[in-house]
Amino acid sequence: EDTKGKIEELQQRLQTLETIFDLASKEQRIEGIEKELESPDVWGNEKGQQLAQELAELKKEASSFKELKTKIADVKELEGLM
What pLDDT, on a 0 to 100 scale, did the predictor assign at position 76? Answer: 85
Nearest to 71 by CA among 1, 11, 9: 11
| Entry pTM | 0.78
Instruction: For 43-73, write each residue's pLDDT tens digit.
Output: 888 999 999 999 999 999 999 999 998 998 8
- Rounded to an integer, the average pLDDT of 18-44 is 93
In Å, what is the CA distance from 54 to each residue of 3, 16, 20?
Answer: 38, 24, 19
Chain mean pLDDT for the chain: 90
- Using CA atoms, how far apart are residues 46 and 11, in angstroms rounded to an integer? 41
